[in-house]
Structure 1
């Protein structure tokens, strides 16, 4: 019997800001992998890095933004990678940024958009992304996030 390996070497971040119409989600149009698709922030965990540290770094590298608050989303994004014959499992984080912060995308993306959850659900290509977005809207927008999921950068275990 052959088993399919489960790889957990990357993170996913749903970035939110408050707007007049409610909370908006940042989506980025991919330039390299998944060319042309709209996605949330994602990236690899570097050696010696904690997953939440990778989330903050990826936000900064891909958008130039700094999270005011970062939460564990209490969910993982998962999908099958045929080229690796493996299941990828990414811990999801939710970051909140200032409403008027300026987005500066890096070379990995061709454009960005702040959109409503309804629009984001129409734009992302994968069912797993839609599942994550629905979870984030329910647990971080429609209700107050559970304080135990807040990542205290000085003491993430608290």
Structure 2
């Protein structure tokens, strides 16, 4: 009997900034893979790197931003990759940045937008992303994050 492998090779980061009473989510429009789609920050884990270290590095590389606080989202994004015939599981992190910080995207993206959770749910293409966003909204925007999930800050 053949098995489908489960791979954990990358991380996913939902980046938030507070604007008044509302948190805004950063979405990036992809240039290479998933061309034209709006996504959160994601990227591979490098050799010798912990997943949370990859999350901080990817935020910096893709947006030029530094996280004031980084949390484990206590959830994984998962999806089936046809070309690899594998299930990918990505640990999700939630990063908070200063409301006045300037985003500088890299060449992996064509544009960025700070949007409400409601807008983000309409913009992202995959059900798994919407599931993650609903979780992040409930656990990190509508309530104070659980302090035990804080990694950096």
Q: Which TM-score applies when normalising by structure 2?
A: 0.98
CA offsets 1:25-67 (integer angstroms, 9 cap, x no match): 0000000000000000000000000000000000000000000
Correspondences of 1:1-158 after superposition (within 5 Å): 1-20=1-20, 22-152=22-152
Alpha-carbon distance in structure 2 between the residues aligned to 1:64 and 1:37: 20
- Following TM superposition, by how much is the alpha carbon of 1:23 offset from its aligned partner in structure 2, in angstroms? 0.3
CA RMSD of aligned residues (A): 0.9
Q: Which runs of 4+ in 1 moved over 2 A?
A: none
Alpha-carbon distance in structure 1 between the residues aligned to 2:95 and 2:45: 17
Structure 2 alignment gaps of length 5 or more: none
SS of 1:151's equivalent? Answer: strand
Alpha-carbon distance in structure 2 between the residues aligned to 1:152 and 1:51: 12
Alpha-carbon distance in structure 1 between the residues aligned to 2:10 and 2:118: 26
- Following TM superposition, by how much is the alpha carbon of 1:21 offset from its aligned partner in structure 2, in angstroms? 5.6
118-127 or 16-25: bigger deviation: 16-25
Alpha-carbon distance in structure 1 between the residues aligned to 2:124 and 2:32: 16
Structure 1 alignment gaps of length 5 or more: 154-158
- Following TM superposition, by how much is the alpha carbon of 1:20 offset from its aligned partner in structure 2, in angstroms? 3.0
Alpha-carbon distance in structure 2 between the residues aligned to 1:142 and 1:115: 16
Q: Which TM-score applies when normalising by structure 1?
A: 0.95
Alpha-carbon distance in structure 2 between the residues aligned to 1:144 and 1:136: 11
- Following TM superposition, by how much is the alpha carbon of 1:152 offset from its aligned partner in structure 2, in angstroms? 3.8
Alpha-carbon distance in structure 1 between the residues aligned to 2:99 and 2:84: 39
